[in-house]
Amino acid sequence: MKTEKCVDFDNLLYDFADGLLDEEKTLEVKKHCDSCDNCRSIVSEIKMVTSLAGSLPEVHVPADKMWLGIEKRIDSSEATPEVAASISPGLFTRIYLYFKRTHLVAVPALVTALVLLGIFPAWFSDGNNPFLVSPNPSSTDVYSSEMQKTEENFSADISDASSEARWNMVEDAFSEVTLDNVTSDIYSDWEN
Amino acid sequence: MKRSDVELIQAVLDGEEAAFKILYDKYVKKVYSLAYRISGKYGDPEELTQEIFYQVYKNLKNFHGKSQFYTWLFRVATNTCLQYNRKHNKSRGSSSYENLEENAPMVLPPSSRPLPDTEAEQRLFQEDIARHISALPEKQKMVMILGPVQGHSYQEISEMLDVSVTVIKGRLHRARESLRSIFKDRGDSIT
């Protein structure tokens, strides 16, 4: 009869019957089986099933008939081992198969979900929704177009200047950038 | 001189078709045995074996030598068997377990002893176990055939089926749990 103690050994009996347990566990299960008819019987049945399955009579293979069929198929089709190379798995398939084999498919799926959940709301919340067309240019658009013009002028000037003059232009440009300027620029943008 | 599997594969890829016949001769017994036991009562193991070796030939270039050729061959074989079963069960409009109804209920011949002492009893047990194996769910059946029947290790089966050893052990555990019913049906237990 199955006792409460038997439950502890339930999962070990198969490995015990297959001889897959370490020495310590083997002794533990053996000791239990010596005093438990139920578990001893299960182990015997497992061994018997395994042994009977392994002793099934060999299947008779039909002589050369099968090979002739294979040969015919190979000869009649255009399939060659070289052609098969073109269906070799690509990089993404290999990555997917690696995660599948290691049972970590959920990890890239979770990362993708987090990225989508994090990026898309932030993107749309900044007014960058690509599906909406604003009827009037916003202050940001005006600011951007002015910045673009300034940059274009600066690029045109600097490409015409000599190397020493270029260096001076860059120095002048950076001397105007102070923390106060940057902060006030940011706030002015917000105020608009 | 006897050539290794890798050398034979290279020879096939170089256009020596006869090298593929050598590989066929070497493995046909185990592949046919798998096809025979997987395809069940209504299947055609010869047709299935031909399909397996045709797929092996067609995909030979995809064998990169990272595992043993034997393991790779059986991966192709098991996949082809599963596809074959799905295709044929679909065309028959029934599940792959229809044999269960026909085979399993043929309860074992009455016997006062559960242990197969005599040769005749041993044969009866073998027939029963073969019938019960063919009635197992597909994945359990595959593991049962590759493992206890054909004698592959957990690691080999894991590579053949591309699933972890833990999963293989679980499937084999459930398969043998079902097969133990053979002894339970006799109303006795082995001691």
Over chain B, what HEC string results? Answer: CCCCHHHHHHHHHCCCHHHHHHHHHHHHHHHHHHHHHHHCCCCCHHHHHHHHHHHHHHCHHHCCCCCCHHHHHHHHHHHHHHHHHHHHHHHHCCCCCHHHHHHCCCCCCCCCCCCCCCHHHHHHHHHHHHHHHHCCCHHHHHHHHHHHHCCCCHHHHHHHHCCCHHHHHHHHHHHHHHHCHHHHHCCCCCC
The residue written with tokens 């013009």 in the block is A149
pLDDT along chain A (192 residues), means of 10: 77 89 92 91 89 87 84 76 48 65 69 76 57 50 62 67 69 59 46 39
Residue B24, chain A, CB below 8 Å: the answer is: yes
Of B46, B62, B125, the CB nearest to A62: B46
pLDDT of residue B29: 92
The share of chain B scoring above pLDDT 90, in percent, equals 51
Chain B hits for A73, CB-CB cut-off 8 Å, are 50, 54
B127 or A145, greater pLDDT: B127
pLDDT of residue A175: 61
The top-scoring range by mean pLDDT among A175-184, B35-44, B58-67, B99-108 is B58-67
The span from the first CA to the last CA of chain A, in angstroms, equals 83
* pLDDT category of residue B97 using cuts at 50, 70 and 90: very low
- Comparing alpha-carbon positions, the chain B residue that sits nearest to A73 is B54
Lowest-pLDDT range of A79-93, B19-33, B122-136? A79-93
In this structure, are residues B142 and B167 in contact, taking their beta carbons and an 8 Å threshold?
no
pLDDT of residue B96: 41
B93 or A24, greater pLDDT: A24
Averaged pLDDT score across all residues of chain B: 81
pLDDT of residue B95: 42
